[in-house]
A and B are shown apart, each in its own frame.
Chain A
Amino acid sequence: MKILVAVKQVAALDEDFEFRDDELDVDEDFLLYDLNEWDDFSLEEAMRIKEASEGEVEVVVVSVGPDRVDESLRKCLAKGADRAIRVWDDAMEGSDSITVGRILAAVAKKEAPDMIFAGVQSSDQANASTGISTAAHLDWPHAAVVAGLEYSPGASKAVVRRELEGGTLQEVEVATPSVLTIQLGINKPRYASLRGIKQAAAKPIEEMSLGDIGLTPADVGADVALSRVRRMYVPPKGRAAMIEGTVAEQAAKIIAIIKEYKGE
C-alpha cells in the first residue's frame, strides 16, 4: 500500500519586494521559500492513514523543482514520510500546472501508488489545477477540495466530503486509485521539530530526471505551456471612500463625484 503526496515549494514575498527586470516575475532576492500550506494538510492526511493502519503503508512525497526544493522535502521526511522524490531537469523551467500534472502522472506510473494526495492549490500561483491534471493524465477518478476523508488502505472506495460554496459539504464516493486534492483544515498538521528536520537530512532524497520518467524535453517547459505570463505588476491602488451623511447628502455627493468624472 502506497500513498503518493505531491507537494510544492512555494514562494512568499518579502517586505518591499521588487520585480525582475523583464517584469515577468518577482526578483528572486525577495522570495522566501517554504512548503505550500495545503501540503502540510495532505501529508498529514497520508500520515494519519499510515499510522492508523495495521498493514504496511508507505508515504512517498514527490515534488517538481530545483535543488532548493530539497529543504521542503526534508521537512516532509521529518514529519514521517518514508521516501522523498524530486523531479527536475532544466528543461522543466517554465512548465505550467498542466505540464507539472503530466510530470507527476509519469512519476505515479513508475511508483504505482494506491492513492495520490495533492493540495487544493498552491499559495503562490493558485491555479488549483495541478492535482486534477495529474488525475487527467492518469485517467484516474478524482475529487477536489476534500475536507473530510474516510479511507482504509486497500479499500476499493473512499468516501470523501467535498467543500462547496456557502459551507455546504458534498459526500462523494470515489473509486480507488484516485487523486484527491486536500483542503486546509481537514486535520491538524503536526509540527516538524528542528531536530527532526536535521535528522531527516541524513535520509536520501531520490532524484529523477526526465529520462527516468519516460519524458523528453519536448514534453515539458515553457514551449508546451498553454499559457504564459505577459507581465507581473502591482495594480495601482483603487480609490474608495465611504460617503457619510443623510441619504440626501449622500446623493448630492455622488452627483458631485459623477460630474467631476465627466469633467463638468
Chain B
Amino acid sequence: MRTEFRLALLATLLGACASVPRDAGFAEAADLAHERGGLELVWRRGGPEEAELDARVHALLAVPLDADGAVAIALLQNRRLQALYSELGFAQAEVLQAARIPNPLLHLEARLPSGGGLSALDLGLEQDFLSLLLMPQKKRLAAETFEVAKLRVSAGALELAAETRVAFLRLQGGEQRLALAHTALEAAEASFELAQRLSEAGNLRELDLALEQAQREEARVAVADAELATIEAREALVAHLGLYGTEARLDTLAPLADLPADDGLGVDLEARAIAASLTLAMRRHEIERAGRVLGLEETTRFLPELDLALAAERETDGSWQLGPGLGLELPLFSQGQPELRRAAAELERLRATYVADAVELRSRVRAAAARVRALHARASFLRDGVLPLRARILEELQREYNAMQVSAFRLLLAKREELGAEMSYAATLADYWVARGGLDSLLAGVSPAPASARSALSPSMGLALNSDSH
C-alpha cells in the first residue's frame, strides 16, 4: 500500500537521527568517577566475567582490609549502586522516545445505508505534523536528561565510595578503641585484685575495696560500650560493602593511617569544589532543559496544532475517493499562556536553586576545611603533647612508686589515664581521616550525606579519676 510505504520511509528518515550509545553512557559515567575519585566502576550484568569479579572480592577480603580495598569491594558488591546504573536505561529510553515519530492515527468510519447495500467507508490516516517539526528540540531535551542521568551515576558511585570510606574509618577507630578499652580493663582488674589481696591480708578498708571494684565495673562498662560501637560500625561498613554471611565478618583491618605532617588542605578550595560539583552540573543541565522547554512553549505558542490527514472514502456505490485533509486548532481562547508560565516558573526555580546550592556548597567546603584543620591540630596536640606527657608521667610515677611515694593504685590509674589519652588520639585520628574524606568528596564533586555514624570521640572512657583517696 502506498500510504504504508510513505510512512515507513518517514519513520526511517527521522529515526536515523537519534543515536544512543550502546552501553547507555555507562563508560562516560565510569570515566568521570575514575577521573574524580580513582574509582573502577563495573556494571555487573551477569555473564562469564561474574566469576572473575567474585574472585576479586575474595582476594580483597583475604588480606587485612584497608580503606581502598573496602571501596573496591563496595564498587563490586554494592547492589544499590548496580541498581543506579539501571537509571541510565530509563534515560536512554527517553532519548529513544524523543527520536521516534509519533505514530499516525488511523480513522475508520463506516456508515451503513438505511436501505441496505454497501456501506459507506471513511478511511483516514492522520499524522501529528507539529511533533515532526519539534522533534530536534525534543531530542535535545532528552539529551539533557541523559546527561543528568550519567552525572547521577558518577555521583552515586563517588558518594558510595566516600560513605564506605567513612564507615571503614569508623570501624577502624572503633576497633582501636575497643582494644584500648580491653587493656584499660586489665589495668582496672589488676588494681582491684591488688586491693582484694590487701584486703585479704587485713590491710585495706572495705571502702577502698569498694572504690577499686567500682572502677573495675566502670571499665567493664566502657568495654561493653566499645564493643557495641564496634558491632554497629562493622554492620554499617558491611552494608556498604554489600557483603553477607561469613564474608561479612571482616576480622582483620589494617591499622589507621598515621597523622600526616600537615593538615593536607590545598588552596582555592571553594572554587575547586564549585567547579567540580556534580550536583551543580546536574542543575545546569536541568536549567538548560528547562530553558529548552520554555523555548519550545514559545515556539508552539502560536503554532496551531496541525494535523495532516490522508482520507480515503468509499462511497456507497463502491467507488473510492482519495484526498488530503487538514486539521487546524484555532487559537481563539487559549494561546498557551499556562504552559508558558509553568515553564518560566520552573526555570526561575531552578536558577534560584542553583545559586542556593552553590552558596551552601561554599559553606560546606569552609566548614569541612575548618574541621580538617581543627582535627589535625587536635590530633597533633594529642600525639605530640598529651601522649608523650602521659608516658612521662607514667615513668615518673613508676619512679615515685619505686620510692614508695605513691601507691600501686595510683600507678595503675596513671596507666589507665595513658590509655585514655591513646583512645582519645585514636578517635581523633579516625575523625581526622573522616573529615579529610569529606573534604575530598566535596573537591571530587559530591556531597555525601553527613556521616550519620556518631563521631568516634566519646566522653565515656570509663575513667573515674578519684582513686587518690587511698
Q: Do A and B come from one complex?
A: no
Using a CB–CB cutoff of 8 Å, the interface residues on chain B facing chain A are: none
